A = this chain, B = another copy of it.
């Protein structure tokens, strides 16, 4: 057997992938072990050969979701950059895009889960913290050189909060909130190149 990944590793990756979408769509407790296994083409009995507990899967699923988020934000930002504007502007326009209101399962894991994070077991909370740190670092990297990390944290909080409220409001009000938040963030940071 010389394949890059064993059969078990492939199954494992499929389960984590399904779970990373499930927790974003339905929340930490919104989908059960049996459903996740089924969606991954397996039966629930085999679950504990892959994970010590449901929470162990949740941790891996959050990590996967966060890494996907960062990768696709970087990629979309790069694409948008070719159309002019600053890197920060491109990031904000990608994250606060109206399309991000729907398809939560492919969206930001922090926006999907943040108000539930403090209520999770320690291992899960720790991963949540890592996700927030990684997102802040990404925003920081898009801000002009010399910007403070704390500034990136405020921007992150604004984007996450706006996306959540836009989802709750829904419809035109939601889209309008995202648009207004984009304008506010971009307007505010366009002159900050001389930091």
Whether A157 pairs with B162 at a CB distance below 8 angstroms is yes
Chain B residues lying within 8 Å of A69, measured Cβ to Cβ, are: none
Is there a chain B Cβ closer than 8 Å to A176's Cβ? yes
Chain B residues lying within 8 Å of A168, measured Cβ to Cβ, are: 114, 117-118, 125, 128-129, 132
| Residues A159-195 near B (CB distance < 8 A) | 159-162, 164-165, 167-170, 176-177, 180-181, 184, 188
Whether A111 pairs with B104 at a CB distance below 8 angstroms is no
Whether B154 pairs with A164 at a CB distance below 8 angstroms is no
Whether A111 pairs with B119 at a CB distance below 8 angstroms is no
Secondary structure at chain A's binding surface: helix, strand, loop or mixed? helix
Closest to A179 in B: B150
Chain B residues lying within 8 Å of A150, measured Cβ to Cβ, are: 176-177, 180
Chain A contact residues (Cβ within 8 angstroms of B): what range? Answer: 35 or more
Bound complex: CA A116 to CA B114 (Å): 9
22 A-B pairs with CB atoms under 8 Å apart are: A27-B115, A27-B119, A104-B118, A114-B115, A114-B168, A115-B116, A115-B164, A129-B169, A129-B170, A132-B165, A132-B169, A133-B169, A150-B177, A150-B180, A153-B177, A154-B162, A154-B181, A156-B165, A157-B165, A158-B158, A159-B161, A160-B165
Bound complex: CA A114 to CA B116 (Å): 9
Chain B residues lying within 8 Å of A118, measured Cβ to Cβ, are: 104, 167-168, 170
Is there a chain B Cβ closer than 8 Å to A137's Cβ? no
Q: Which of A114, A167, A170 has the most CB of B within 10 A?
A: A114
A49–chain B nearest beta-carbon distance, Å: 29
Chain B residues lying within 8 Å of A162, measured Cβ to Cβ, are: 154, 157-158, 161
